[in-house]
Chain A
Amino acid sequence: MKNIDSKGHVTGKSIYLDDIPIIQGTQFGVVFDSPVAHGTITSVDYTKALATPGVIRIITHEDIPGQNQIGGIISDEQLFASTEVHFVGQPIALIIAESDQIAFKARKLIELEIAKKDVIVNPREAQQIDQLIVPPRTFKLGDTENSWGNCVHIFEGQADSNGQEHLYIETQGAYAIPMENGHIRISSSTQGPTVVQRITARVLGVGMHKIEVDVVRIGGGFGGKEDQATPWAVMAALGVSILNLPVKVVLSRLDDMRMTGKRHPYSSDYKIGFSKDLKIIAYETTFYQNAGAAADLSPAVMERTLFHGTNSYFIPNVKMTAYSCKTNLPPNTAFRGFGGPQGMFVIESALSHAAKELGIPTHELQKINLLKNGNEFPYGQIADGVELNSIWHEMESKFDIGSIEKEIDEFNSNHTDVKKGFSLMPVTFGISFTKTPMNQARALVHIYTDGSVGVSTGAVEMGQGVNTKMLQIAACIFSIDPKQVKLESTNTTRVANTSPSAASSTADLNGKALQKACNALLERLKSCAADHLKVSSTDVTLKDGMVYTNENKTDLTWHQLVMMAFLKRICLTENGHYATPTIHFDMTKEKGHPFAYHVYGLALMQVTLDCVRGTYEFDAVKIVHDFGKTMNPSVDFGQIEGGLIQGMGWMTMEDLRYNNQGQLLSNTLSTYKIPDIYSVPKTVTIEPLETNGSDLAILKSKAVGEPPLMYGIGAYFAIDNAIKSFNPNFTSTFDAPFTHEKVLMGLHGSLDFE
């Protein structure tokens, strides 16, 4: 089934936040933010801004009836800065005016004085002075200290990966409208409606029941709207509570880029040791996560870095320590992969480093050390259902790694100005929220008396096709035409206390809850039919809108059965609740079984370098991926292609730049470039691996949102590989992204110019 939204998308009829028809009296909010990365507000004068015709009100921390606090994991972030500012772009006030144009003009008239303080943008500097978001954490397996002596080869180095702007094409925004009795209804472009509801209630000092949050869909999220959609919604609601008028806050692209956090930049040290036969004996790493100025989701992101620090390899002795370092950047946040990619980049760098020193191809080291069933992850979970070896074998048999390598060698010896390179990138990604209590979901199903069905879940549709999967589940269980099922908006009054749509697990959690609800309804209907047909309800099945007994079609239709049940006063509404079984994690020991299952895959990437100009083109990417039993190939393949390109963007052209005063330099789409249609690989081949899937995956169709992003890491090492064949003296810096600048410098070295 194709994405159920696609017809609306191609006709422009799909409704996003800014498309909601404007209610009379609506006012528009523009955020006034700090131009300074660290300091104390000594004075702020709104007089001129307030005098601007059309400006209705300027709301500051003084107007907050509840708590001026939006922090999630840790209460360390104000909605509006009161005295201290900690990053450029930190909100100080909301200007509310008759139009956003007026508010933008008024914003320029605000007079602000800040006594500047020292600015830290480097995570290692922050760690040096113990400026941490949370205490450091260490994952340990075996005993690294006593293992180095057993190693024949030991390599040490540093690997850094930069941040990444989400660049959802729809910017952040919310539209809040007053309801009666002080209730507020918020439409928000958020991945986490409950987060918006909870924080709004906290800031307004009211019960959560007074705040309704509704999401039809969002125009891209990628993690950027998990926690950071919240402030704008809270501001709009605050405006409503003060003015009793509808208030809309939609960020301009410049404001969005400046004010919101990104993927965390990481700087890391590694030490890796091998036996004579090149098995990894020991691995130590220290991660310095650049968290920005407040916790946001950083502690959880840091945790996932530790979970995925050994990627797809079994290492008997591991010690990984992570510091979440507090700097004066906007609070960095969730981004597809959630710290996992940063951890994987380090071990891939260590392997690439080792391979070069040992004079062997990196993929040999990778293959020798692949994880197998029964191996222990550093966090105590025992690997199960591991597909890495069969995936590797599939890659070798389908695409012949050896002959690709040979072709590249031949090409390189015949060309001076153009060089080719390649890489292999295995991925092992754990599925579940690592915070166990978040692994629950609910679904509400109504069957209407005409047989049509309304489904509400906690899942937010952001292009990942979750609503399509939900619709498939309901239509399949009831065995009715999908046209009879409608996916409702995600609304906190229908499905409450939801986890955000994140961690690749939205379809699993909400889908399982929906299965439960639908199955309960189905049982009721079957028993109603059994009564009517005078058979046992176990003999009743529903198929294609008809009732069957013992495989024999009856005259009873789905519609008639539903009406019959209604007249018999049988409940045609059901709420399903699902909580992932088997998972647990003990943070005091850093051991447990945090993941329902893992997703596995392998990407082979080929690149061609223009050694004259220092530019590159990706020729081909070949992927073998463990989908389990995909329930929707077009949606799932789309996630692979999209995730791959997003990961490649992070590793190649997406060059996030702050200066040492914490100001974002890559602050527009003209200075921050994401892949365009010409920068994607010429071919992307996806080979699905037939596996059993997992019972904890919805219909055994494994989660697919985040894992493919990490295939993109291969782009870095393919370029690295190609540079080495032009410049044998090139020393890899393991400093992603591999921009054209780094490539050219790597090929030719600095120019001696006086």
Chain B
Amino acid sequence: MIEFILNNKPIKTDQPTGSLLLDFVRYEQSLMGTKIGCREGDCGACTVLMGELIDGQMNYRQVTSCLTPLGNAQRKHVVTIEGLNMKSLSPVQQFMVDESGSQCGFCTTGFVVSLTQFCLANSIPSYNDAIASIDGNICRCTGYKPIERAAKHITESLSDKDHNETLNWLIAQQFIPSYFNQIQDKLDALPKGDNDSQNGTVVGGGTDLYVQKHDQLIDQNVDLITNMPNLNFIKIDNGICKVGAGTTATDLMESDIFISAFPRLKAHLKLVASSPIRNTATLGGNFVNASPVGDFTVFFLALNAKIKLTKNSDSRSIYLNDFYKGYKDLDKSSDEILSTISFKLPTQDSHYNFEKVSKRIYLDIASVNTAIQLTVSKNKITESHISAGGVGPIPIYLRKTCDFLLNKALLPETVQSAHKILQSEIIPISDVRGSADYKRLLLRQLFYAHFITLFPDQFSLDSFK
């Protein structure tokens, strides 16, 4: 039995936990404002809010309901456009009207829901965050400029927001209906969900699984990572950072530990998917999915990360690099669950960078991605880890290139020689994301980009001529 609050209505349903939130709101609840655009999380027309009680405060994130297993709504507050409507338009709605932010209107509710999430965020509002909130919403009519203008006005209208009293302030200013301040009590009153294994497919955020296996999943009771205890944490233990496999991309992006360890974290993770996808996609899911261009896999390979695989009370640890045996072939038995990722925190001398190029810069799958971690002491490379995706059947840890760089001087000649070795470690194929020739050239450029970005005083494109 799944219990949650849908807008202002308590829901108790015995639909399969693997069925989709989108179908539930549209076809079981007849809330037709949530639209179906693609059913793969790439358009945002089905965006809804998921509110959760965290440390005594409601925390709302936008998700694509087309990829959200209904079971993940357990004990949450799900808000559709209908749940945002009041007698008069909210400022978000009014600014969208005033700026003609809607033409055919099919994508519009998704934008309104996402922009409302921006208003609900317990942080200081900025225009960049307003735009980031709609980075998963696609509009084919307006060219976005009017929506940008609406976002600007919305940001300005939040300038007096009381961040300690976000909900009450928003209710008073009629951004959201007044029932929002009763949700916390209603959620508290719901019975704590059971976590019994359903012996179904294990699903993390589902953001890739539902694209690939939609038909198999929607009828089953799946095992949801988000309902498993102790899989969502980020902590430091003796200089080792440990991350639960159920941690979402957004959790990482907002983690103080990660922000201080990776100064460019936000820019890096902005290249990964979109806000609604990052809100649900889990680290473990990305690893197990075994995509040859998995962004997080590439990110963590360059941290020389280890993973812990758990089976009942047994567990074993292996290097992430050894997890991938071949295309979509993992060193993991079907009853093992990837539970924890751990890596040594970067030191003062170490430098980290992540690069990704795709057909569209944001909200796209990489043509090629790569990450590097270099430790440099007195202009000598003392440790190096480099990874690359999209250039072979698995995400590759470029071992020979790393070995070559070890104990070399940090000079353009070193990088150029290393690049020759790098090319011998990859076997890209031509596909819809680019020709093999392009991927080789692109990886060279991104390899150079690591050095240009990390050591701008020492490297530029001219260094490699």
Chain A contact residues, CB within 8 Å of chain B? 2-3, 5-16, 18-19, 21, 101, 104-105, 166-171, 217-222, 252-253, 416-417, 462-465, 611-615, 634-635, 637-638, 641-646, 653, 655, 657, 665-666, 668-671, 673-680, 684, 739-741, 744-745, 748, 750-751, 753
Min CB distance B99 to A, Å, is 8
Min CB distance B88 to A, Å, is 10
Q: Is the CB of B106 within 8 A of A220?
A: yes
10 smallest beta-carbon distances between A and B, as pairs = A12-B33, A463-B104, A219-B106, A9-B105, A645-B143, A463-B103, A669-B42, A12-B81, A10-B93, A673-B360
B336 contacts A by Cβ under 8 Å = no
Q: Is the CB of B37 within 8 A of A170?
A: yes
B359 contacts A by Cβ under 8 Å = yes
In the assembly, what is the distance between CA of A416 and CA of B448, in Å? Answer: 14
For A634, the closest partner residue in chain B by CB is: B100
Q: Is the CB of A10 within 8 A of B96?
A: yes
In the assembly, what is the distance between CA of A740 and CA of B366, in Å? Answer: 12
- Chain B interface residue count: which class? 35 or more
B45 contacts A by Cβ under 8 Å = yes
A676 and B460 in contact (CB under 8 A), knowing A2-B97, A10-B89, A641-B146? no
In the assembly, what is the distance between CA of A751 and CA of B109, in Å? Answer: 46
B365 contacts A by Cβ under 8 Å = yes
CB interface residues, B 88-117, toward A, < 8 Å:
89, 92-93, 96-98, 100, 102-109, 112
Q: Is the CB of A170 within 8 A of B106?
A: yes
Q: A465-B103, A612-B448 are in contact. List 11 more A-B contacts (CB 8 A).
A: A7-B89, A10-B92, A252-B39, A462-B104, A612-B449, A614-B357, A615-B357, A642-B142, A653-B359, A750-B437, A751-B423
In the assembly, what is the distance between CA of A642 and CA of B441, in Å? Answer: 34
- Interface pairs (27), CB distance under 8 Å: A2-B98, A2-B100, A3-B103, A11-B33, A12-B80, A168-B106, A169-B104, A463-B105, A613-B446, A614-B442, A637-B100, A638-B142, A638-B146, A642-B103, A642-B142, A657-B432, A669-B42, A673-B363, A674-B138, A678-B131, A684-B145, A739-B359, A740-B357, A750-B437, A751-B440, A751-B441, A753-B423
Q: Is the CB of A668 within 8 A of B97?
A: no
Q: Which of B43, B85, B438, B446 contacts A11 (CB 8 A)?
A: B85
Q: Is the CB of B112 within 8 A of A670?
A: no
Q: Is the CB of A417 within 8 A of B460?
A: yes
B124 contacts A by Cβ under 8 Å = no
Q: Is the CB of A753 within 8 A of B440?
A: yes
Give chain A residues whose Cβ lies under 8 Å from the Cβ of B85. Answer: 11-13
Q: Which of B131, B141, B423 contacts A677 (CB 8 A)?
A: B131
Give chain A residues whose Cβ lies under 8 Å from the Cβ of B106. Answer: 16, 168-170, 219-220
Q: Is the CB of A611 within 8 A of B461?
A: yes
Q: Is the CB of A19 within 8 A of B138?
A: no
In the assembly, what is the distance between CA of A168 and CA of B38, in Å? Answer: 11
Min CB distance A299 to B, Å, is 27
Q: Is the CB of A13 within 8 A of B33?
A: yes
B383 contacts A by Cβ under 8 Å = no
Give chain B residues whose Cβ lies under 8 Å from the Cβ of A645. Answer: 142-145
For B151, the closest partner residue in chain A by CB is: A677
Q: Which of B108, B437, B442 contacts A10 (CB 8 A)?
A: B108
Min CB distance B340 to A, Å, is 29
For A726, the closest partner residue in chain B by CB is: B461
B148 contacts A by Cβ under 8 Å = yes
Q: Is the CB of A670 within 8 A of B142?
A: no
In the assembly, what is the distance between CA of A642 and CA of B434, in Å? Answer: 28
Q: Which of A8, A169, A740 contacts B140 (CB 8 A)?
A: A169
A680 and B103 in contact (CB under 8 A), knowing A11-B85, A613-B355? no
Give chain B residues whose Cβ lies under 8 Å from the Cβ of A7. Answer: 89, 93, 97
Q: Is the CB of A676 within 8 A of B138?
A: yes
Q: Is the CB of B444 within 8 A of A167?
A: no
In the assembly, what is the distance between CA of A12 and CA of B86, in Å? Answer: 12
Q: Which of B38, B97, B105, B367 counts the most A-chain CB atoms under 10 A from its CB? A: B105
